[in-house]
Amino acid sequence: KAGVTQTPRYLIKTRGQQVTLSCSPISGHRSVSWYQQTPGQGLQFLFEYFSETQRNKGNFPGRFSGRQFSNSRSEMNVSTLELGDSALYLCASSLSVRGSETQYFGPGTRLLVL
């Protein structure tokens, strides 16, 4: 099976712009989670989608939003970018929403906000 794919891999934006990141899960996986990784902060949970519904949300401002399509592909949007949004954004897919399900991560999208 193909792994989790994320596009684009690298992105440079300026403050105030908005950005959309895409994630294609492993075939058959219906749960997609998004994480932000910054130096010294580890992986911080953004949100999780299952069957096109947001099942859980982390402590991020409303500028961060997402959605999931019927084919389980997911997009994440960040509006009004700030310098602090520069990070590696990781997408992970799993069969279901249970925390005991192994999550398979994509390579990430590295976002740089200037």
Partner 1 sequence: DQQVKQNSPSLSVQEGRISILNCDYTNSMFDYFLWYKKYPAEGPTFLISISSIKDKNEDGRFTVFLNKSAKHLSLHIVPSQPGDSAVYFCAASAVFTQGGSEKLVFGKGMKLTVNP
Contacts with partner 1, residue ranges (CB under 8 A)? 4, 33, 35, 40-45, 48, 50, 55-56, 58, 90, 92, 97-100, 102-108
Q: How many CB atoms lie within 10 A of CB 94?
A: 22
Q: Of the two residues 81 and 94, which places its CB atom closer to partner 1 in the complex?
A: 94
Residue in this structure with the two tokens 């009004």, named with its chain if needed: 80
CA distance 62 to 93: 23
Q: How far is the CB of 2 from partner 1 (least distance, A)?
A: 14
Supply the minimum distance, in Å, between the C-beta of residue 3 and partner 1. 9
Measured from the CB of residue 44, what is the shortest distance to partner 1 in angstroms? 8
> How far apart are CB 98 and partner 1 at their closest, in Å?
6
Nearer Cβ to partner 1, position 17 or 52? 52
Comparing CA positions, the residue from 3, 45, 42, 41 lying closest to residue 24 is 3
* SS3 call for 83: helix
Tokens of 79: 């509006």
Which residues are bridge partners to 111 per DSSP?
11, 87
Nearer to partner 1, 56 or 77 (CB): 56
Token digits of residue 84: 């602090």
Q: Which is nearer to partner 1, 22 or 79 (CB)?
A: 22
